[in-house]
Chains A and B, each alone.
Chain A
């Protein structure tokens, strides 16, 4: 036993800290009250879902009679994802270089590049899709552009972070040799970032495949258009078939990218 008494269980907090805590609690409660569904309404909705004329019951068995056209649309969705992702990743590299502390030519350019990346990342891909539909019209081209911009925002940030975290030693050594900025980036920074770039690119592809299915809902091509039409016409069994085929595609891409990640990194 010691003569020292046990310290208090909780640290004494100041008045501003209690005020901040109260403010956070008030925000959470007011948000729940304003937006959360009423329990009785939720209960009635779920019951309606399982009624004989409800959506869930009507979905079974799924209708695969249009499997061939749906498959072609699914292929278009995958192509949109791959093309948009490829272009986005390609363009994310220069943006990331310009946004990196050590590699950017000037602080103004660095802040501008970071601003563009943040803008591309913050605006949702559905909004980009609507913007590109206005520019290039309905169809997969708008979807590809939307995915591309979204991926510049996503990969630009992660590529820049990976480049910031590389060991500066090899870069200093090449700088001391007299290597050009481009030579230094390609021969020293890129090899060091390869595992991180690969992981980010594969995650970007998975995200693109999931996202491209939704882009059709606003008319930017892909399987989403068919899904929306099936729901609008109350063809819930066909909608389920589309959802299951989308699920199979997403799982296949995730498994494939996981395998590549394990092999390469």
Chain B
């Protein structure tokens, strides 16, 4: 079987004027061989990029390293014009506020209503009791949170406890919370993983809509090949701790992605 024919590697991506994220020589090791071993790529602003790779290839670790939820061992990350490793605790907080994350699990506070969970997103910009719960929030924050809920189609469930919502609705509340951050960059770690096919597609379409309408950059992990091909502009493949595939999505098809998965363990 032939190895996939990769598009020419370009650090700034196919169509970018200036990168919004540049990763150089990123290494992360826990106890043992490095899980990331010299990762390097750059992303253009306003694009949707899919990160693919086998289980355990380090995709989630890479995403967490980008905002230092996991500290990288070596390398350099420049994101939204900031040297991420050089940020002190206060600057790191303000940097993270600009990066919205959609997790595989929604990670909402289960006993609170959808509106309170969405209001939490404003903790990126404001602090104090007024942003702890929707009942204490200022009118303009509540109005913005309602607009975010409306954007994901859940304005009518604002006061419903999130643990009584369906999995898809919970993921949409998590996206509304992320929108409340007014992010400049979105990281999505398998946002479609625990959802049924239709709901998963709706969530992915919602994320791509944000890229197209607001010009937000998106880096997402998805194990669903059809979502990778439908909702991204560029595909990065991670194998053996490095970027082993970098191609524009229009040049990719299911067969080429399958060949990448088939060959990534080859020496």
**Chain A interface (Cβ < 8 Å from any Cβ of B):** 167, 169-170, 172-180, 182-183, 186-188, 191-192, 194
Contacts and interface: CB of A to CB of B under 8 A. Distances in A.
Contacts of B111: 191-192, 194
B223 interface: no
Interface centre among A176, A180, A183 (most CB of B within 10 A): A176
Contacts, number: 74
Give me the 6 closest cross-chain CB pairs, A-B, nearest first.
A173-B107, A178-B97, A179-B123, A169-B107, A178-B96, A178-B93
Contact of B120 (A167, A172, A179, A182): A179
Given A173-B107, A177-B123, A191 B97 contact: no
Contacts of B243: none
Contact of A186 (B94, B132, B181): B132
A191 B120 contact: no
Interface residues on B, range: 20 to 34
Given A191-B111, A192-B110, A174 B123 contact: yes
Contacts of A186: 129, 132
B109 A188 contact: yes
A68 B111 CA distance: 46
Given A177-B181, A194-B111, A187 B133 contact: yes
A182 B129 CA distance: 9
B225 interface: no
A23 to B, nearest CB: 40
Interface in B128-168: 128-129, 131-133
Given A169-B107, A172-B69, A177 B120 contact: yes
B108 interface: yes
B227 interface: no
B112 interface: yes
Contacts of B93: 178, 180
